[in-house]
Structure 1
Amino acid sequence: MPNFETFTKRMAPLVKQPFVTVQKRGIISMNAAAHALLGEPEALELLYDPKERIVGFRAVSRESEHAYPLRAQNGKSVGPYIVSGTAFVKYYNIDVAVSRRWVAYLDDGILCIDLKDAGTEVTSNRSAGKESGVDDEDA
């Protein structure tokens, strides 16, 4: 008789490419690879270059004056990690009509996404039509 193992999502390797998703309501999520690239911070500063249309995320302590706390979605310890960016996207008039995901890159310690790149439209993987814009596997 075969000696079967039950495959679980936890056995699958984490996505190695860093991704950041800006969801419809302005919630910002990053996958575990992006979080690790920043040194697994508990909080971020949200940065924006309006001329270049680049969003930046800098790791800071929770006590920093401009800190936005990160939390693991649904209490998971492997991500995706989310931060409330609603006021940020409204202030900078960042389009959040649909949820979009970008490949992120590190520039001088700041995790960046370039909004000049259209990104990839994402939809919820949840049933009942709930829109989260987060895929459990690659945020």
Structure 2
Amino acid sequence: MAFEVFDKRNTSLRRAPSVSIQKRGVISINRAAYTLMGAPECVELLYDREDGVVGIRGVGDDVPHGYAVRGAGRSAGTGPVMVAGSAFTAFYDIDTTISRRYPARMDDDVLCIDLDAGTEIIGNRGRRHAAPPADAPPAATEHDR
């Protein structure tokens, strides 16, 4: 019998490449997509108005319009990376009223996402503060416990 050691850091590379645009315009690139790009330190943001496609291309840190890529919290090196894209999304009037995830594909040296192909992201954070359904029993108070 031959055992293999499971390394959880390898699991994210098997996921499909995707890019999320969050409510505040932050662009989150999952590890699979970032690896496809060659893991650049800086990127430039591109937009095709006619087709509604966002492009992300790796550039050197000497490019004046480049954006630094940042690791996300404790998962730096294994998790998604972030790009500050609020000025970009505002300039091109890209809807950021809700967070959306888009499948990503490489076209030559550009990571592309089609803005018509996104799905809404529903996370845990918003649910904690959501109002309970109308038919829900009243919440217990400190006195009831």
What TM-score does the superposition give when structure 2 sets the normalisation length? Answer: 0.77
Aligned residues: 122
1:64 aligned residue = 63
2:139 aligned residue = none
Matches within 5 A, 1:1-139: 10=8, 13-14=11-12, 15-75=14-74, 76-117=76-117, 119-126=118-125, 129=128
Q: How far apart, in 1, do the equivalents of 2:112 and 2:59 lie?
A: 15
Q: CA 1:61 to 1:129, structure 2 compared with 1: closer, same or farther past 3 Å?
A: farther
Cα displacement (A) at 1:108: 1.2
Higher relative contact order (CA 8 A, sep 6+): 1
Indicate the RMSD between aligned Cα atoms, in angstroms: 2.1
Q: How far apart, in 2, do the equivalents of 1:127 and 1:98 lie?
A: 11
Instruction: Report sequence identity in percent.
Output: 43
Q: CA 1:110 to 1:11, structure 2 compared with 1: closer, same or farther past 3 Å?
A: closer
Q: Which has the larger radius of gyration?
A: 2
Q: CA 1:127 to 1:121, structure 2 compared with 1: closer, same or farther past 3 Å?
A: closer
Q: CA 1:24 to 1:127, structure 2 compared with 1: closer, same or farther past 3 Å?
A: closer
What TM-score does the superposition give when structure 1 sets the normalisation length? Answer: 0.80
Please, which runs of 5 or more residues in structure 2 have no aligned partner? Answer: 1-5, 130-145
What SS is found at the alignment partner of 2:116? coil
Q: How far apart, in 1, do the equivalents of 2:10 and 2:31 lie?
A: 13
Cα displacement (A) at 1:128: 7.9
Q: CA 1:111 to 1:11, structure 2 compared with 1: closer, same or farther past 3 Å?
A: closer
Q: How far apart, in 2, do the equivalents of 1:84 and 1:126 lie?
A: 21
Whichever structure has more helix as a proportion of its residues is: 2
Between 66-75 and 37-46, the greater mean CA deviation after superposition: 66-75
Q: How far apart, in 1, do the equivalents of 2:67 and 2:9 lie?
A: 31
Deviations 1:73-97 (A, max 9, x none): 0042112100000000000000001
Q: How far apart, in 1, do the equivalents of 2:48 and 2:9 lie?
A: 39
